[in-house]
């Protein structure tokens, strides 16, 4: 493949009342991985959607080499070899892996689908991505990280000239990230133009050759990765941002607010026991598939456990359900906020009050005044940036949506908060705000269990870290006495 370049000239995109992009002129060439970064609302997604043919610019032009591009639909972009993998996956759960990869392009034989060829072709691609999944397996049965790799495999099946990866590692653990990076580098070395959108700035030295920063719809600059440091990129993205470390003034109380004893669920976790003190921020580390998410679901009663018990302030719960656990004082922010934590087409106010409907409503009758009061309090205290609390929750950025999920549970006055990947898909500034919420609640005596694939976050935020492997708690570490390398090694150990 000869040298390629995708470039823009004076691209501007206006929406009613706002300018998403202003006079953007930049270029991305083959033979390099180009990171595109910026906080939520910076214009990254808008630029990606223009390249993908999902929207048209208000003014300006964009080119593949010297050919001016005019897209009326995403299919036009595909026809030119420009393929986008979005963070929000487009797979059809009820179809097989192979069907999803070749959806709309299934090989034909005598006017029928050639299933043998379909599965063989899918198997070859999956092998290249080092994903050990049967092409016949339904996507609904895959884990989130497996689905993400299938999504990327689908994009690679188009033999793209340009590939845009939007937060491709958002649901991948460190060992899976490295496999993905190998595939990305292979694409780069084959002459594909790779544009890599991420919030995970710690990934950039490993994968990016150049970094392009947008802020508030404007181009701040493009730099060579080996010429800048982490702090330089953060300054380009935000100006001055204060990165917090765990405050020293949080007093963990002596009393045990929750005990988990012998909790087991066949195939997911086994004989898990630990205690949680009042005001403590407890981290649970482990690779994807270690059972962390399933453990939180088991504690909350969202998934039934086979045996074991959860004791909250002396009261024992066996095989409980979410209503009982909510009434006991537990809140859960799920990993997939858009599917399990929010109803995006409903208002911000309603989403902030669903968990507290027994408080905010009069029996079966909605009390709009009380809902507005509860919602406004969380908007104020959590500094949620909203156009109007009656606006659809889908109108918010990822970081503000996550705050709504948290605020929904804080309205129940919980004793314990379970956070499952709360910083997934949000920018550096929003992450810091979520961490500040945890610490603020800890000062009020609210205890936290915090699961994160980003082990650096656990070291920064938590008072204590438990390590899960193969469904078991195998170690406990002090964040002040362990390095990030040691933590990764302990999590990934095969024994």
Q: Where are the domains of the chain?
A: 5-238, 256-492
> Distance between CA atoms of 196 and 36, rounded to whole angstroms?
6
- Per-residue pLDDT for 217 more than 60? yes
Place of tokens 């990764």: 488
Architecture of domain 5-238: 3-Layer(aba) Sandwich (3.40)
**Best CATH choice for the domain 256-492 from the list 3.40.50.300, 3.30.70.3280, 1.10.287.180, 1.20.140.10:** 3.40.50.300
CB 378 within 8 A of CB 410: yes
DSSP 216: T
- The H or E element spanning position 215 is strand 210-215
Q: What is the average per-residue pLDDT within 350-354?
A: 91
The model's pLDDT over 73-118, given as tens digits with 9 standing for 90+, comes to: 988 998 899 998 876 678 899 999 999 999 988 988 888 999 999 9
Is the per-residue pLDDT at 494 higher than 50?
Answer: no
- DSSP, collapsed to helix, strand or coil, labels residue 333 as strand
In the predicted model, what is the mean pLDDT of residues 404-427?
Answer: 89
Distance CA 236, CA 88 (A): 26
> Helices marked H in 139-276 — which ranges?
144-156, 174-189, 204-207, 230-238
The two tokens of residue 32 are: 């390099």
Q: pLDDT value at position 492?
A: 63
> At CA 235, angle to CA 230 and CA 238, rounded to 5?
120
Least confident of 21-25, 107-111, 201-205, 436-440: 201-205
* DSSP, res 464: E
Per-residue confidence (pLDDT) for residue 326, from 0 to 100: 93
451 or 132, which is more confident? 451
Does residue 92 sit in helix, strand or coil? Answer: coil
Over residues 347-365, the mean pLDDT reads: 83
Query: Is residue 231 exposed (0-12), middle (13-18) or buried (19+ Cβ within 10 Å)?
Result: exposed
Say if residue 495's pLDDT is above 50.
no
d(C-alpha 252, C-alpha 256), whole Å: 10
pLDDT per residue over 329-343, tens digit each?
Answer: 999 998 888 888 899
Cα of first residue to Cα of last residue in the chain, in angstroms, is 44
- Mean pLDDT score of the chain: 87
């Amino acid at each position: 493949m000869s040298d390629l370049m995708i470039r823009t000239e004076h691209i501007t995109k206006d929406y009613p009342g706002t300018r998403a992009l202003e006079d953007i002129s930049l270029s991305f060439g083959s033979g390099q991985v180009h990171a595109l970064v910026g906080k939520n609302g910076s214009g990254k997604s808008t630029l990606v959607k223009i390249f993908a043919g999902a929207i048209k610019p208000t003014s300006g032009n964009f080119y593949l080499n010297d050919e001016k591009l005019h897209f009326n639909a995403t299919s036009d972009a595909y026809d030119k070899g420009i393929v986008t993998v979005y963070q929000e996956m487009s797979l059809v759960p009820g179809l097989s892996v192979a069907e999803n990869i070749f959806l709309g392009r299934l090989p034909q034989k005598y006017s029928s689908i050639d299933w043998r060829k379909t599965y063989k072709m899918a198997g070859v691609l999956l092998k290249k991505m080092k994903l050990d999944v049967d092409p016949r397996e339904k996507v609904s049965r895959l884990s989130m990280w497996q689905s993400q790799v299938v999504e990327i495999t689908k994009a690679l099946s188009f033999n793209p000239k340009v590939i845009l990866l939007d937060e491709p590692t958002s649901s991948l653990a460190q060992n899976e990230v490295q496999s993905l990076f190998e595939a990305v580098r292979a694409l780069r070395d084959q002459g594909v133009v790779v544009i890599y959108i991420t919030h995970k700035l710690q990934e950039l030295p490993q994968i990016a050759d150049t970094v392009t920063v947008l802020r508030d719809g404007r181009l701040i600059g493009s730099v060579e990765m080996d010429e800048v440091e982490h702090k330089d990129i953060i300054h380009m993205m935000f100006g001055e941002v204060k990165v917090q470390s765990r405050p020293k003034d949080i007093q963990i109380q002596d009393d045990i607010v929750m005990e988990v004893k012998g909790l087991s669920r066949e195939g997911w976790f086994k004989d898990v026991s630990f205690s949680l003190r009042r005001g403590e921020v407890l981290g649970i580390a482990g690779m994807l598939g270690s059972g962390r998410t399933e453990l939180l679901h088991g504690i909350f009663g969202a998934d039934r456990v086979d045996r074991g018990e959860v004791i909250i302030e002396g009261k024992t719960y066996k095989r409980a359900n979410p209503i009982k656990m909510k009434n006991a004082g537990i809140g859960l922010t799920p990993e997939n906020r858009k599917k399990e934590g929010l109803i995006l087409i409903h208002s911000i106010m309603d989403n902030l009050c669903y968990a507290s409907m027994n408080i905010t409503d009069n029996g079966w009758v909605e009390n709009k005044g009380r809902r507005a009061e509860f919602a406004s309090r969380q908007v104020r205290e959590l500094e949620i940036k909203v156009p109007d609390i009656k606006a659809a929750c889908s109108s918010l950025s990822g970081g503000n949506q996550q705050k709504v999920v948290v605020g929904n549970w804080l309205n129940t006055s919980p004793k314990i908060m379970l956070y499952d990947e709360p910083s997934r898909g949000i920018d550096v500034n929003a992450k810091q705000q979520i961490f500040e919420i945890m610490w603020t609640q800890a000062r009020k005596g609210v205890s936290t269990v915090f699961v994160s694939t980003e082990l650096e976050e656990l070291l920064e935020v938590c008072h204590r870290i438990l390590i899960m492997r193969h469904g078991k708690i195998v170690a406990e570490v002090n964040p002040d006495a362990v390095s990030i390398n040691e933590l990764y090694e302990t999590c990934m150990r095969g024994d």
